[in-house]
Amino acid sequence: MESMLKFSNYEVEETRFRKDLNATQNSDELSPTVECNIMRKKDNENEMAIRLSIEIGEDNQESSLYVFAKVVGFFEQEDEGLDLSANAVAILFPYVRSLVSDLTSKGSDDPIILPPINVNTLLEKDVD
């Protein structure tokens, strides 16, 4: 059986990592912010790009840790009558999780391992 959704490729669009060794804030106090943009081609609704980014900490000198990762995944679906964007985000999110873990694993601290997310809740939040 052939899949209704084809994951073509993904690209890392941007990463940033900063750690302040003198800061007293514990990285466990930081919570991630996830953003998702779904872009469809005007001339072909069956092709879409998903831009998924995650930010941990604040990009300022007061935060002890700052991590930002943004990837873009490229997908094709067979039936334009279906909305498979939630499936596409669910496929792409493990790549972002892995990228964050890899970025934060350098050095002597334990890497940040993000928990799985509820994709439907994420997409509902972005619509509001």
The answer, yes or no, to whether residue 124 has pLDDT greater than 80, is no
In whole angstroms, give the CA distance from residue 25 to residue 43.
49
pLDDT for position 97: 93
Mean pLDDT across the chain, nearest whole number?
84
The answer, yes or no, to whether residue 52 has pLDDT greater than 90, is yes
Most confident of 70-74, 86-90, 107-111, 124-128: 70-74
In whole angstroms, give the CA distance from residue 52 to residue 92.
8
The answer, yes or no, to whether residue 26 has pLDDT greater than 60, is no
Least confident piece of the model among 28-37, 63-72, 89-98: 28-37
In whole angstroms, give the CA distance from residue 48 to residue 60.
33
State both tokens at 31.
């919570």
Percent share of the chain, pLDDT over 70? 85
Band of residue 2 on the pLDDT scale cut at 50, 70, 90: low
Note whether 14 and 71 are within 8 A (CB): no
List pLDDT tens digits, range 86-107: 899 999 999 999 999 999 898 7
